[in-house]
Structure 1
Amino acid sequence: MPRSSSQAGFTLIELIIVIVILGILSVTAAPRFIDFQDDAQASTVQGTGAAFASAIKLAHLKWASTGNSGPVDNLDLYGNGNNLMDMNANGWPAQSYLPFEANPTLDNDSDCISVWGAVLGDGSPTVASDTSQDYQATYSANTCTYLLVAEPNFSIFYDSNTGVVTIDSTL
């Protein structure tokens, strides 16, 4: 029997059922959407870390291909005169400063920041010794740690003695 015009619409029971179904769907779907941000940040760290690792290896290859066997001051990484890198005794990037230094070593936060800027180029993800940029750089025991400020569990580590770059993007 067709409904009259005064009975058009949903009954209270139908509305409650629809609200319950929407509630169940939102509870099961919401965590999946929340994880997208973590996944995006993990991908960002992985991509940045891979680019940084490649640039570190490229700098080491440039050092080796020019016949160097010890520390080098102001090695022009990309042939443009802008990315001058001081290489340590093992041939790995140590710092990027202009006055001559006979045996450059990576030994503080500023060195970590200068290595990042020289190998990746300025304008890449930004780095500082505080949380004002994309990454926070800290130094400890020959290792630079680049912590993603937006997600402090994600980091990039650079060992200046071995050139090893490690990426931690797991929660």
Structure 2
Amino acid sequence: MGDVGEDQYPGFRDFVAARGPALSRAAYLLTGDHHAAEDLVQSALARVLRHWRKLGDGDAEGYVRRTMYNLQMSWWRRRRVPERLAAAPPEPPGSDPHRTTALRMSLQRALAVLSPRQRAVIVLRYYEDLTEAQAADVLDCSVGAVKRHHHDALARLRATAPHLVDEQTPALRGRV
């Protein structure tokens, strides 16, 4: 696309600089792969750039996130190849690397068994902390569909990774 001029797309660079890391983290949770997450964010931002002037002071981040979720669903439908999560994300400084790594790998394997819709609902509800209505809006489906995917995803996670529930505090055990 070439260089993005500030006069042509005012605020776009600042938006990407400020919200890029959060978008990348959400994309990683959706894809389970760092390279695919980078591609997803870049593709979503490229699509949003085309409509940047129309967004004005609106909810640009919400538009980017919705674009990311829709792109991920579209890519999954085309690919339909089982994913294998191989690389673990870097560990934060000062944590127990063995315990944290084992927990992350376990979580990655558990998320990998979910369908893309289920995975998207889990990411939206627990990582993005959206309500069911907000998640339904992002995924362009009904609240009932979000509830169904959420229920099915949690049941599948409980069946495939019950040890993850033990990692949570007692207050969260009923939710995850």
TM-score by length of 1: 0.25
Q: Which has the higher strand share?
A: 1
Rg larger for:
1
TM-score by length of 2: 0.25
Higher relative contact order, structure no. (Cα contacts within 8 Å, ≥ 6 residues apart): 2
